[in-house]
């Protein structure tokens, strides 16, 4: 039975991300999952039974309901803005999986639709809600590591050929927008910018080395110049066996912080101040796309609940989601034309993102 003060949720998409959304919503006291939509009827029935909610095979039919407050979208990338705009037109608040879209034009159209409909738009970037990420952000803002000289993001994962074969859209450029960068690495690219500052310029190389019959990159290397003068790198992969911990390195003239899988594992300050967080061991290999902790999803969804209730912007709104997309698209442009690309990107008909 729904509690009186619960917000009512629906989820579109029944894949790995969609089921994470369902589980997270079901564990929140202030949320009630009342409906899901999935084009695969058997999956829809099974998940509807598991979460004791209604199910649809056509999400547009679900959006006709007037008892849904917030809709989570976890579908193939190219559908994000299209579905999000329909949700906005239905007058419901939107949680959208990363990336916000694969096109800047479409992403801006989604943001415009949400503003015009006066609904909230949240883009999933759950790692921002990890305790150690919050601590790192506060420490940097308080000057504890001084001036950042170098920062790097390393997302060296392993995905089998079956990963792409089982869901062919993942390997199609027009459907996914790309590979290791836009799909697997965008969370840590977002964190890198969030912790270090805005990026001025990127120079990247992308290639496909470990998988067959895919159009997207499974390896990428990027050199970065930040607005504040720091330099950095991004390494992204889905072909490096057995897969390794996602990592961010932050090196300053007063100290350094190393983060692995959202946990601070190195904290070295010139003044010898001890690390106030608890350094924990993390797992060795990251080879499975199913290894997702819903606790951070719960924190971000709770933030969205508070945004709706208090009529404020969610912490990671549409404008924040565009920033990480823009970085990835700039890297793709750099790789394509073999030259540095400055940010922000200019909207141009000559290069359709």
| 28 in the same domain as 18 | yes
pLDDT > 70? residue 277: no
Q: Are 255 and 269 in contact (CB under 8 A)?
A: yes
- Answer whether residue 166 shows pLDDT above 70: yes
- For residues 133 and 259, membership in a common domain is answered with yes
Residue 289: what pLDDT?
Answer: 56
Distance CA 7, CA 29 (A): 10
pLDDT surpassing 70 at residue 350:
no
Any bridge partners for residue 257, and if so which?
A: 250, 267
Instruction: Give this prediction's pTM.
Output: 0.93
Asked if 170 and 273 sit in the same domain, the reply is yes
> How high is the pLDDT of residue 93?
99
* Pick from 145-149, 217-221, 236-240, 344-348: least confident: 344-348
Residues 99-148 have pLDDT tens digits of 999 999 999 999 999 999 999 999 999 999 999 999 999 999 999 999 99
Instruction: Report if residue 350 sits inside a domain.
Output: no
Same domain, yes or no: 206 and 307:
no
Full 3-state SS string of 235-293: EEECECCCCCCCEEEEEECCEEEEEECCEEEEEEECCCCCCCCCCCCCCCCCCCCCCCC
CATH number at residue 16: 3.40.50.720
346 in a structural domain: no
The structure tokens listed for 163 are: 């990963």
- Same domain as 115, residue 166: no
Domain with 180 in it:
127-288+325-341
Burial environment of residue 147 by CB neighbours within 10 A (0 to 12, 13 to 18, 19 or more): exposed
- Based on the fold, state whether residues 54 and 115 are members of the same structural domain: yes
246 and 312 inside one domain: no
Residues 29 and 85 placed together within one structural domain of the fold: yes
Angle between the 318-337 and 104-117 helix axes, to the nearest 10 degrees?
170
Kindly report, residue by residue over 286-305, the tens digit of the pLDDT.
555 555 679 999 999 999 99
CATH number of 136's domain: 3.30.360.10
Residue 307 lies inside a defined structural domain of this protein: yes
What average pLDDT does range 251-264 have in this prediction?
A: 98
State the average pLDDT over residues 31-46.
97
Give the span between the Cα atoms of 236 and 192, in whole angstroms: 13
CA atoms within 13 A on the CB side of 144: 20
Neighbours of 334 (CB within 10 A): 21
**pLDDT tens readout for residues 3-26:** 668 999 999 999 999 999 999 999
In this structure, the answer to whether residues 224 and 335 fall within a common structural domain is: yes
Tell me how far the alpha carbon of residue 116 is from its chain's centroid: 24
Same domain? For 32 and 88 the reply is: yes
317: which DSSP letter?
Answer: B
Separation of alpha carbons 76 and 175, rounded Å: 7
| Domains in the chain, number | 2
Angle between helices 186-196 and 131-141 (to 10 degrees): 30
Q: Do residues 91 and 165 both lie within one domain? A: no
What's the pLDDT at 351? Answer: 41
Tell me: pLDDT of 352 over 60: no
């Amino acid at each position: 039975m729904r509690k009186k003060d619960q917000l009512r949720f629906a989820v579109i998409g029944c894949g790995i991300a969609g089921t994470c959304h369902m589980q997270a919503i079901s564990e929140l006291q202030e949320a009630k999952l009342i409906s899901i939509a999935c084009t695969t009827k058997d999956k829809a029935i099974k998940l509807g039974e598991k979460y004791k909610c209604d199910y649809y095979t056509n999400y547009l039919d679900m959006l006709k309901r007037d008892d849904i407050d917030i809709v989570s979208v976890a579908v193939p990338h190219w559908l994000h803005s299209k579905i999000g705009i329909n949700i906005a037109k239905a007058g419901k608040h939107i949680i959208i999986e990363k990336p916000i879209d694969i096109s800047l034009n479409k992403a801006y159209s989604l943001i415009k639709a949400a503003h015009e409909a006066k609904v909230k738009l949240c883009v999933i970037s759950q790692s921002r809600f990890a305790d150690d990420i919050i601590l790192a952000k506060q420490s940097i803002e308080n000057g504890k590591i001084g001036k950042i000289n170098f920062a790097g993001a390393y997302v060296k994962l392993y995905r089998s050929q079956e990963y792409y074969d089982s869901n062919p859209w993942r390997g199609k450029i027009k459907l996914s927008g790309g590979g290791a960068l836009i799909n697997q690495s965008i969370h840590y690219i977002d964190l890198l910018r969030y912790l270090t500052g805005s990026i001025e310029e990127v120079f990247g190389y992308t290639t496909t080395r470990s998988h067959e019959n895919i159009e997207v990159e499974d390896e990428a290397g990027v050199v970065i110049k930040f607005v504040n003068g720091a330099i950095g790198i991004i390494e992204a992969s889905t072909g490096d066996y057995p897969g390794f911990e996602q990592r961010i390195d932050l090196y300053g003239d007063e100290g350094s912080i190393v983060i692995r899988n959202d946990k601070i594992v190195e904290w070295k300050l010139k003044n010898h101040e001890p690390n106030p967080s608890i350094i924990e061991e993390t797992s060795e290999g990251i080879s499975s796309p199913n290894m997702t902790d819903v606790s951070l999803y719960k924190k971000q969804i709770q933030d969205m609940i508070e945004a709706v209730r208090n009529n404020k912007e969610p912490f990671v709104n549409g404008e924040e989601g565009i920033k990480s997309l823009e970085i990835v698209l700039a890297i793709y442009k750099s790789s394509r034309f073999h030259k540095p690309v400055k940010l922000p990107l200019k909207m141009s008909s000559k290069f359709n993102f």
